[in-house]
Chains A and B, each alone.
Chain A
Amino acid sequence: MLELRGVRAGYGRIEVLHGIDLTVGEGEILTIVGANGAGKSTLLKAVSGVVRISGGSITYDGERIDPLGVENIVSRRLIQIPEGRRLFGPMSVEENLQLGGYSRRGSGSPVAERLERVFALFPRLKERLSQQAGTLSGGEQQMLAVGRALMAEPRLLLLDEPSMGLAPIVVQDIFTGLRRLNQEGLTMVLVEQDARIALSLAHRGLVMERGRIVLEDSAQALLDNPEVRAIYFGRRNAGYRRGMEKT
C-alpha cells in the first residue's frame, strides 16, 4: 500500500533521513520505534508531504506521491495525526471534527454518519461537542485528534506519538480504539517512544537510529528482543513519561 525507496529528507542543509526503505501492507499496523531525534517524526512528515524529500521515492497505491502537496496527499485519504495533536484549540470539538472531514466534503459518506462512527469509538466526544478543544483533558484531546482524522475516512493513518503526555490508563483507551479501527481494515503507521505499548498493538516493527532503519522484524520478535528491551523499555523512558502525565 505504501512503499518508500531510499528516502532522504531533512531541514535546510541538515539531512535527517539517510535513505529509508520500507513497505506497509494493506490492513497492517507498522510501528516505528526509536529514541528522540532518530528521525521518526520526519519520516511521517515526509510521507504526508509536510517535509519535502530530497531523494528517493514514496509510492502510495501504486502512485508516486512525493511530488504532491500536502492537500493532494490528504485527499487520497492518507491522513496524519501530528505530534502533539495540533488541534484547533480555540474552536469547538464539533468544528474540529467538521474540519477533519474537509478533504472529503461533497464525497464519501454523509457527515452525520461519520460523526456517529467517531462517537461510537469515543462516546466522550459527543458529550463535549460544543466545548473548546483546547479545554479538553489530554486524553480527550487525543481522542479528538483521532476522531478528526477519522472524519477524513482514511485508508492509511499515520500516528505520531499518540501516547505522548498521557496517563497509562488513558493510553489504553486510545489504543483499544486504534485496535478496533485496524480490525475494521484501517492500515496504520505508528511512531512511538513507548515501544512496549506500540509494539503490542502492531504486526510489524522497525527500529530507527540516527535516520536509518537498523532493525526490522515482527512486533512479537521485537518485543522479545533483549537488545530492544534494554534500550527502548528502559526506566529513563518511564520516568520521562511520568513527568509528563496528565489525564
Chain B
Amino acid sequence: MTFEQFLQYIFSGVTSGSVYALTAMGFTLVFNATQIINFSQGQLVMLGGMIAVGLYGAGAPLWGAFLGSVAIVVLVAVGFERIAIRPLLRKGILAQVIATVGASFVFETAAMLIWGRDAVTLPAFSGEEPLSVGGATVVPQTLWVVGLTIVIVVALQLFYRKSLFGKAVRACAVDATSARLQGISYSRVVIFSFALTGAISAAAGVMITPISFMGFHSGSLLGMKGFAAAMLGGLGNPVGAVLGGFILGIVEALGVGVVSAGYKDAIAFVILLLVLFVRPVGLLGAKMGNRG
C-alpha cells in the first residue's frame, strides 16, 4: 500500500468513523440516562437521512432539510420515549430494551412505506469537486462530516462540563435517586436525553447521506456499528464513544485496503466480539455497576 492509498483509507475511515461516533454517542446518551440500550438508535440515523431527502425533494433548501430533519427526529425520539419507554419504567430495563427493538421495526417499516425500497441520496452540502490532500483526494462532504462531528462533540462536552443542567444529567447517570434528592427532575433528564439523541442521530444521518446513500434498511447496520463503537470506547463514556467510532471507522477502512472490501462489515462485529471477550468495559472502561 502506498502512502497515498493509506491516506485515502484514513480519510474514508475518519468519515465513516464520524458517523459511528455520533451513533455511538446516541447509545451513550440514552444509556447514561436510563441504562437502556436503544436498539432503534440506527433507525433514528436512517430517519434523519430519509426525512432530509424527503424535505429536499419537497423543495426545501439543503440547510432547511437538515434543520427540518433534526427537528422531526427530535419529535420522533421524544414521542418514542413517551409512548414506548415511560409506560414501561416500572417493568424494568429488559422490557424497555425490547420496546426499542420493536421501535426499530416500526421506524424501518414506516420508512419503507413512506419512501419506498430504493436507496436515496442528497446533494453534497458544498459541491462535489474533490480536493487533493497529500496525494489523496477528499470530497468536500468529508470535511463537512468531520467538521460538524467535532463541533457537536465539543459542544456536548461543554454542555456536560459547564452548564448546571449538563451536570444534572451526569449526576442522574451516576445515581438517579440521589439526583432526585437534589431536586433534579429525572423524567426531564430522560426526555432531554432522548431529544438530544434524536438531534445527533438526525445530524449524522443527513451528513452521511450524500456520501453513502440511505435506504429504509440502512439503520440496522449503522446501529450495530455504532453499538460496536460504543462498546469499544466503553459504554456510558461519551469520550469513549467518539474514540471508539473513529477507531472503528479507520480499522474498517484499512481492513478494506489490506484484506478485502467484502469483509468491511464483518470487521465491526469482530471488534465487538473481541471487546466482549477481552475487555467488556471497553477502552475507557466506564463503570458498569448497578444503580440503586
Contact = CB atoms under 8 A, between A and B. Distances in A.
A149 B168 CA distance: 15
B167 A86 contact: no
A160 B164 CA distance: 26
A155 to B, nearest CB: 14
Interface residues of A, number: 25
B109 interface: no
Contact of B164 (A70, A87, A91, A105): A105
Nearest to B287: A90
A79 to B, nearest CB: 8
Interface string B160-175: 0000100110110011
Contacts of A80: 181
Given A48-B181, A99-B184, A102-B164, A86 B170 contact: no
B129 to A, nearest CB: 47
Chain B interface residue number, banded: 10 to 19
Interface string B166-203: 01101100110111111111000000000000000000
Interface in A81-100: 82, 86-91, 95, 98-100
Given A86-B175, A88-B174, A90-B174, A70 B167 contact: no
A74 B168 contact: no
Interface of chain B, helix or strand or loop or mixed? Answer: helix
B168 A70 contact: no
A148 B171 CA distance: 13
Which residue among B171, B177, B184, B292 has the maximum number of chain A CB atoms within 10 Å of its CB? Answer: B171
A152 B177 contact: no
Contact of B170 (A71, A75, A91, A100): A91
Interface of B: 164, 167-168, 170-171, 174-175, 177-185, 287, 292
Interface of A: 48, 50, 70-71, 74-75, 79-80, 82, 86-91, 95, 98-100, 102-105, 148, 152
